[in-house]
Amino acid sequence: MRLIINGETQIVDATTLSQLLAALEYEGEWLATAVNGELIHREERDDHILTDNDRIEILTPMQGG
């Protein structure tokens, strides 16, 4: 499936948002995710089905100061 992840086109086998996060090795409870501009809460990721050309944004906290 073709997805646009954080602005970059990628081909992936994942069919749900949680599968995509696992495949991309994103972990932790501090992730924020959006699909096509809609915020997807952590408890909804297992059930959120992805489709071709979805735009996925994955935000993680940054360290520094």
Average pLDDT of 1-12? 97
In angstroms, rounded to a whole number, what is the distance separating the alpha carbons of residues 27 and 25? 6
Give the tokens for residue 38.
């809609």
Mean pLDDT (whole number) for 1-11: 97
For the chain, give every domain's residue range. 2-59
Taking only the tens place, the pLDDT of each residue in 7-64 is: 999 999 999 999 999 999 988 778 999 999 999 999 999 999 999 999 999 998 766 6
CATH class of 2-59: alpha beta
Alpha-carbon gap, residue 47 to 60, rounded angstroms: 21
Q: What is the pLDDT of residue 30?
A: 85
